[in-house]
Amino acid sequence: MASHGYFSVLVHAFVFASLATSAFSQLSPNYYDYACPNALSTIKSVVEAAVQKEYRMGASLLRLHFHDCFVNGCDGSILLDPSPTIDSEKNAFANFQSVRGFEVVDDIKQAVDEACGTPVVSCADILAVAARDSVVALGGPTWEVQLGRRDSTTASKEAADANIPAPFFSLSQLITNFKNHGLDEKDLVVLSGGHTIGYARCVTFKDHIYNDSNIDPNFAQYLKYICPRNGGDLNLAPLDSTAANFDLNYYSNLVQKNGLLHSDQELFNGGSTDELVKQYSYDTEAFYVEFANSMVKMGNIQPLTGDQGEIRVSCRKVNNY
């Protein structure tokens, strides 16, 4: 990562150019400059401390933002606890006993509200910034986060189950899923690169290692010690061979048929995304620039702005509940 500063400059330039031609007028990177100038630095300090304490937390915060945006837009709905009026997305298949980091979000919210003097920063924006800062803390690129989202007052487990990409999806299902959210094949491949950090549960890759043929036999055998055919569903395996570093190994692993999830290996399985996977397996500059661009694009999926939604006092429950 000796040339990380160079990549960061490229990322900022590319994202700035992209924003000039895209519909990001509702959001702004300067949204909190006057209302709370210390907001972003406060989020960064809490995220860095959390990742330093446990590097897996970086992947957890990135996944939280991703799963939030893919339900009803980037509105913080994934953070809501179950209640008589909330069908919590935390209980969806992709999230239950898998997605973590809620306590860190609570810590960020408390620190930011103290820094601001009042709740002016939405939980949805906290997730977007924390995802960026987590990637940077693990050696990845940076980008300007567009801000001004407001928080949802509802959640939907049903929508989460229907919209979050499943680990057993085929390439065509993945492409359709991303297209439904306004994202293209390049976004699919590059955002999947977020799997360069973090872990997955045995239940999400068991079928892949026992029943799929597009997996290296030695890799499958190694995983069978972690994930037995019967039981062990909550056992964890790294999503790539350097799960603490934001690097290119996720793509290198796919080229070697060492993808942990069925949906991962589908990106390099004789289909239309093979060439992009090959490129990202050796081209750090391209991956960093495109990842940053796609994160900004994903972060603009149906945000609540203006007088929509609310700014939650607690990220876990709607106001006045």
Q: Show the domains of the chain with their CATH numbers.
A: 4-164 (1.10.520.10), 181-285 (1.10.420.10)
| Cβ-contact 89, 95 below 8 angstroms | yes
User: Measuring CA to CA, how many Å separate 13 from each of 108, 141, 162, 258, 287?
Assistant: 29, 12, 36, 34, 15
In the annotation, is 67 catalytic? yes
Instruction: Give the per-residue pLDDT at 32.
Output: 96
| Cβ-contact 198, 60 below 8 angstroms | yes
CA–CA gap between residue 127 and residue 161 (Å, rounded): 20
CA–CA gap between residue 33 and residue 277 (Å, rounded): 38
Q: Is 272 annotated as a binding residue?
A: no
Q: Is 77 annotated as a binding residue?
A: yes
Q: Is 195 annotated as a binding residue?
A: yes
| Cβ-contact 100, 31 below 8 angstroms | no
pLDDT means per 10 residues, the chain with 321 residues, are 44 41 67 96 97 91 96 96 94 88 97 96 98 96 97 96 95 97 97 95 96 97 96 94 93 97 98 98 97 96 94 95 65
Instruction: Give the per-residue pLDDT at 287.
Output: 97
Torsion of the alpha carbons at 146, 294, 173 and 225, rounded to the nearest 10: -100
CA–CA gap between residue 122 and residue 310 (Å, rounded): 8
Among 288, 301, 226, which residue's Cα sits nearest to residue 75? Answer: 301
Q: Which of 4, 12, 67, 208 is catalytic?
A: 67
Instruction: Give the per-residue pLDDT at 20.
Output: 34
Instruction: Give the per-residue pLDDT at 98.
Output: 83
CA–CA gap between residue 271 and residue 273 (Å, rounded): 6
